[in-house]
Structure 1
Amino acid sequence: MANNITLSQTDDIVIVTVSNNEQANTIDISFCEELLSALDDVEISQQYRAVILRAKGSVFSAGGDLAQILECLDKGDGSLEALISAFHAVILAIRRLPLPVIASVQGAAAGAGFSLAMACDAVVAANTAKFVVGYPRLGTSSDGGLSYQLTRRLGPARALDIFLRKEALSAAEAQSLGLVQRLTDPSSLEDTAFELAKTMSNHPSVTVAEIKSLIGALSDDGLEQHLEREKQAFLRCASMAGFRTSVAQFVQQSKARKH
């Protein structure tokens, strides 16, 4: 499906907008290819100082496209692994981009959408937003580096508690844990994200790039290897019959709500 990922510019800030509201901005192979291409264009242009990643509609992202995941499972041809690999390429591109990347989150950031937000350098969230792990309810482990990000930021015990017990965080809870840097009314979300982007990029470009690289060297050097471990763990869970049953149920429920 076309996700209508577009680039726009305000001053020297580039705004990457995902507009696939009918599908709740879910993450499928097309999404990954389009977003990766957009991030490549941003880096090649060398005219921007910071990036805002936002999504139109009532939610930031409902996570992975379960209908496509179900199709991948039915094919049994390696397409699920290809989908996860494409998503992980996006995560690595965000981490390696020599610009601050700010996620602007409204509504739910669920599953892979939570992972996507956590890959960014900073998160601005509406006070009505929520961050949902989602994976255990489907009978699988995480992808997109979520287990890496939560463990690195919060420690193993708290990360495990969120995954297996709490599963969802309000915007205020996420801010109290340091996962969200700015909290605002929904009506001020765009302005607040822009203000933070300007503040974070208000230094020589080479300085910002070097600082992000240095901090990334400390925190992200093991990310690529961890993403591979996440992918293999996800695939092992996905090979179980219970995972396919859960995904099929969610897809059916989603179709029923649309009719």
Structure 2
Amino acid sequence: MNDSVLLEVQEGVATITLNRPQNGNAIDLPMAQALLKAAIECDQDPGIRSVVLTGSGKLFSAGGDLDAFVAAGDGIAGFLSELAGTLHLAISRLMRMDKALVVLVNGPAAGAGMSLSLVGDIVLAEAASSFTPAYGAIGLSPDGGLSWLLPRLVGLRRAQELILLNQRITAGQAHALGLITRVVEEGQLQAEGAALARSLATMNVPALGQVRKLLLEAHGTSLEAQLEQEARSISGLSTQPYVREKVAAFVAQRNHKNKKELTHG
């Protein structure tokens, strides 16, 4: 992994940091490759129980590195195919792993950076953050899953307006639209994100993975198929020692409480 993406693991929480602050964390091929490697490690390492994704410096990510686009010259079609394909593998891995993902948007997110900012289960943003599709400004169509994520988060009509007109929205507007989970006060982003990630790391990771899968697939599934998947999921999880211990402890605590109420009633 090169230093354009940093991966730090502490007490079961992995933090992935986009680390090209001098370039606005613009995504070039080495960064996309490093992000994919980090995503695979987060997915496969059993010691990692939750994941945080954020950016270094003043921007979350400016999107694709336009200098790299220019440098590709006549080979830009092949270059963008490789760049987008690598980024998409990373995004797919982050969205499909069992571990919950918290995204901390520390500044403006544009283009593929906007796409990447939306992949979390919980997305926190500083008030000074903003979100811009950006593709229309250079005559391109979205990548990074934006055309899939945005309609599911804000509805088709609003997604059409945002992307086609290349609208920039503030963190407050993003929250009002349901694009992000909430806006946090300046200077509190990392602390709030870390607390959330630590809380998620204490939960049953396989169960969180099933929740992520069920929600991710819900839009493309019929009611009956979703009900079947829910039944299979809950029954499969129920055999885990973790679940059986938690259920037994809950029942014992409830029975103890009921007994005390009857005794002192």
Q: For 1:96-133, what per-residue CA distance to the aligned partner results, in whole angstroms no more than 9, with x for missing partners? A: 11111111111111111000011222211001100111
- Give the Cα separation in 2 of the matches to 1:38 and 1:93: 10
Partner of 2:65: 65
1:147 aligned partner: 147
> Structure 1 residue 77: deviation in Å?
6.5
The equivalent residue for 1:165 is 165
Q: Partners in 2 of 1:158 and 1:76 — Cα distance?
A: 31
> Is the contact between residue 73 and residue 80 of structure 1 (CA under 8 Å) also seen in structure 2?
no
- Structure 1 residues 77 and 179: alpha-carbon distance in aligned structure 2, compared to 1, 3 A threshold: closer
Alignment map for 1:69-84 (pairs within 5 Å) = 69-76=69-76, 78-84=78-84
Query: C-alpha distance in 2, partners of 1:51/1:134?
Result: 27
Do the aligned partners of residues 200 and 28 (structure 1) sit closer, same or farther apart at CA in structure 2, a change above 3 Å counting? same
Q: Using the alignment, how far apart are the partners of 1:219 and 1:193 within structure 2?
A: 28
**Structure 1 runs (4+) greater than 6 angstroms displaced:** none
| Alignment partner, residue 227 of structure 1 | none
Distance 1:119 1:112 in 2: 11
In the TM superposition, what whole-angstrom CA distance separates every residue of 1:193-233 from its partner, at most 9, and x where no partner exists? 11222344442122111111221222478xxxxxxxxxxxx
Aligned equivalent of 1:52 = 52
How much does 1:36 deviate? 0.6
Alignment check: 8 A CA contact 1:7 1:16 kept: yes
Shift in Å, 1:78 = 1.6
Matched residue of 1:57: which SS? coil
Distance (Å, rounded) in 2 between the aligned partners of 1:219 and 1:190: 32
Residue of structure 2 in register with 1:35 after alignment: 35
Distance 1:114 1:220, change over 3 A: farther
CA positional deviation for 1:178: 1.3
When residues 156 and 198 of structure 1 are mapped into structure 2, their CA distance, relative to the original with a 3 A threshold, is same
- How far did residue 166 of structure 1 move? 5.8
Does the C-alpha gap of structure 1 residues 158 and 39 become closer, same or farther in structure 2, counting only changes over 3 Å?
same
* Equivalent position SS for 2:165: helix
Q: Retained in 2: the 8 A contact 1:39–1:93?
A: yes
- Report how far residue 44 of structure 1 moved: 1.9
Q: Which runs of 5+ in 1 are unaligned?
A: 222-259
Query: How far 1:167 moved relative to its partner?
Result: 1.2
- What is the Cα deviation at residue 186 of structure 1? 2.6
Q: Give yes or no for contact 1:106–1:186 (8 Å, CA) kept in 2.
A: no
Cα root mean square deviation, aligned: 1.9
| 1:9 maps to 2:4 | no
Count residues in correspondence.
Answer: 221
Aligned to 1:109: 109
Please list, as runs of the form range in 1=range in 2, the aligned pairs for 1:196-215 lying within 5 A after superposition: 196-215=196-215
Post-superposition offset of 1:149: 0.8
1:248 corresponding residue in structure 2: none
What SS does the aligned partner of 1:161 have? helix
Q: Tell me, what secondary structure is at the counterpart of 2:30?
A: helix
Relative to structure 1, is the Cα distance of residues 181 and 77 closer, same or farther in structure 2, using a 3 angstrom cutoff? closer
CA distance in 1, matches of 2:219, 2:189: 28
Q: Which residues of 2 match residues 98-137 of structure 1 at below 5 A?
A: 98-137=98-137
Alpha-carbon distance, 1:143 to partner: 0.6
Change (3 A) 1:194 1:25: same
166 and 180 in structure 1: CA distance in 2 versus 1, 3 angstrom threshold = same
Identify the structure with bigger relative contact order (alpha carbons < 8 Å, sequence gap 6+). 1
Question: Which amino acid is the alignment partner of residue 216 of structure 1?
Answer: L
In structure 1, C-alpha distance between the alignment counterparts of 2:11 and 2:208, rounded to whole Å: 17
Residue identity over aligned pairs, in percent, reads 29
Does the CA-based 8 Å contact 1:201-1:208 persist in structure 2? no
Which protein is bigger by CA-based radius of gyration? 2
Matched position secondary structure for 2:118: helix
1:3–1:139 distance in 2 versus 1, CA, 3 Å: farther
* Matching residue of 1:184: 184
2: CA distance, partners of 1:147 / 1:201: 30
